[in-house]
Structure 1
Amino acid sequence: MFSWLEARDLTSPLSLVRMWALLSGCLTFSLVASLDESELASGDQMHSFKIFCMFTWCLFFLLTLLIHVVNIIQFHSLIPISWKNLTVTVAALAALMTLSASVRFPVAVMRHDNIQPCPVAAAVASCLTSVAYASEAYLIRNQAQDQRGYMASVPGLLKVLQLWGGCEMMALVAEHVHSYSGNSDGEGLVQLWVSGTFYVVCLLMSLVTVVVVLGDCAGRCLVPFDRLLASFSLIGVLLYVVANILCFARVLEKHHMGGRARPQITETMIASITLLGYTVDLAFAIKLLRDRSQA
């Protein structure tokens, strides 16, 4: 009756790193949830960012727990999605999201005039969680060719990078819009809305790509899937080029006015990384189209 539950399912490298991610992830959001408000920086913006970090840690904890349980009881064949693509997508996206939370949580949320051990421990636990997810993605990527899907390839991981960039940029834009409330700088607010629109479009394109791959629907697309990916990459490059220009303009404006430009610098860095991901992805898509046309 319980033949599906074997010792090797619990002691395999993938199971071990998933349990590592579960333990460190649980420790992270437990520590942050127990923090007193006096240990954190004040302000509605900081409170919103704490909620965003908590959502990130809790979401990927639940997803990893579901994947771990389903993998142990061998029920993944009953799930109507591509299991090998789902696991590497969750692991790679979780590694990026928890890494960014690990970096930005102590910088933006913790009080620098009175550093307490509990927030530091939460930041360290979050870093360990990110390493666990990165290890899981590495192990899946190095499996046999028939055991790993498209999302474990370089173009697939670039799609995850684009998805991460879109999520981070939307969170940053929401923070900036909140900081502009009651501000008379209408031009800056318009630039933010334009950038936000670009990020939403790119995020939706990344989501569509990931959903199509996870649902094994590539062969049912009205447009050839490789051409669709190339079009998405080209649009992403163009939109992120404009978004990067607007980001640099806001950084220079803040520097000229002598204001605090750290949020704008963070947005510019993430936008530049995402633009690089789209550019490399476009190069892979063009190479694939050229190879197929010569075949």
Structure 2
Amino acid sequence: MPVTVTRTTITTTSSSASPTVLGSPRSLYQPLGLLRLLQLLSTCVAFSLVASVDAYVGFSGNWCMFAWCFCFAVTFIIIVVELGGLQARFPLSWRNFPITYACYAALFCLSASVIYPTTYVQFLGHGRTRDHAIAATAFSCIACVAYATEVAWTRARPGEITGYMATVPGLLKVVETFVACIIFAFISDPYLYKNKPALEWCVAVYAICFILAAVAILLNLFDCTNALPIPFPSFLSGLALLSVLFYASAMVLWPLYQFDERYGGVPERRRDSGCRSSHIQYVCGWDRRLAVAILTAINLLAYVADLVYSARLVFVRV
């Protein structure tokens, strides 16, 4: 019988134990433990600096504060679970959960590190509040690097048997869902697409692909990949192919109907009356449209890479 050799071998069934079980105070002094302490410290300092001067007004400020608090809380839970050796009692697969969370946390902190200074800090006057906000941004960047380092450290290596979320397609699922959430934030005002069937289709594409990718993540986190009526590898391949086709249509329709005058679009920012003034709590319509177009392109590339990598994986039932 011929043998097929691939770059990575993964498992899609349950394994409650972590590949690296800490379970003692000494484990905090191991490289991964020290990395998580850095994550805990940097996120704590970031939200503490901002909270001490009440420097989180509006959507952007609240989002950044949520990102830092959420990352701090979940990192604290992970440290407690590993110190207590409670991985087997944790409700989610410990092979998949830590790296899934680390990837989300890296994206959360990255978004906060970009959004906070560009939409909030630059509007602050010189003084104590601005200094605290700048320092919080620096610690947010440190946290982002720390979480990204954990992802790079714990991801699947060639020939390694590990959880699906530690593979490149698994991590791409995290990126896809996160980018979709950012898109939803930008299209939260229905006037951007209402009464235009082509744009409403784009919104449907974002929602459908987000749901499918989220289902794939949850099936792995809850070890329910065998609950599908079709083999999980087939589900992943079909999901990636369908999402590529859907996003390709959105990549054409969204810019066409938002920026082409022939289809009622606004080709230049200066023509949008709402973009003539800058405000700390407001992102104008034209900027929202452009952001969604860029994020659509990013997600399309992510789904294409997901499709390519998914076709090269071999799933081993353990």
Task: Quickly name the TM-score band, shorter chain normalised.
Answer: 0.7 to 0.9
Map of 1:200-219 to 2, 5 A cutoff? 200-219=207-226
- When residues 64 and 143 of structure 1 are mapped into structure 2, their CA distance, relative to the original with a 3 A threshold, is farther
Q: Distance in 2 between matches of 1:150 and 1:120?
A: 38
How far 1:65 moved relative to its partner?
A: 1.0
* Match status 1:153 vs 2:153: no
* Correspondence 1:1-295 to 2 at 5 A: 6-36=24-54, 47-112=58-123, 114=125, 116-141=130-155, 148-174=162-188, 177=189, 180=191, 187=195, 193-249=200-256, 250-251=258-259, 253-256=265-268, 258=270, 259=272, 260=275, 261-288=286-313
Letter in 1 for 2:293: T
Cα shift readout 1:88-117 (whole Å, capped 9, x = no counterpart): 000011111210221122112234473522
Aligned to 1:43: none
**What TM-score does the superposition give when structure 1 sets the normalisation length?**
0.81
Note the C-alpha offset of 1:142: 6.3
TM-score (norm 2): 0.76
* C-alpha contact (below 8 Å) 2:173/2:217 kept by paired residues: yes
Q: CA deviation at 1:7?
A: 4.0
Given that 1:84 and 1:147 are in contact with CA atoms closer than 8 Å, whether structure 2 keeps it comes out as no
**Structure-1 separation of matches of 2:95 and 2:113:** 27
> Which sections of structure 1, spanning at least 5 residues, go unmatched?
41-45
* C-alpha distance in 1 between matches for 2:242 and 2:53: 43
Matched pairs, number:
273
1:147 Cα deviation after fit: 7.3
- Measured in 1, the distance between the counterparts of 2:244 and 2:178 equals 15
More deviation in 263-272 or 274-283? Answer: 263-272
Cα distance change of structure 1 residues 147 and 24 upon mapping to structure 2, 3 Å threshold: farther
C-alpha contact (below 8 Å) 2:194/2:200 kept by paired residues: no
Is the contact made by 1:173 and 1:192 (CA closer than 8 Å) also made in structure 2? no
Structure with the larger helix share = 1
**Residue 51 and residue 80 in structure 1: after superposition, are their counterparts in 2 closer, same or farther (change >3 A)?**
same
Residues 110/192 of structure 1: CA separation in 2 closer, same or farther (3 Å cut): farther
How large is the Cα RMSD of the aligned pairs? Answer: 2.8
Take 1:8 and 1:139, find their aligned partners in 2: how far apart are those partners? 20
CA distance in 2, matches of 1:102, 1:47: 16
Retained in 2: the 8 A contact 1:5–1:72?
Answer: yes
Cα distance in 2, alignment partners of residues 117 and 191 from structure 1: 46
| Change over 3 Å in CA distance of 1:251–1:213 after alignment to 2 | same
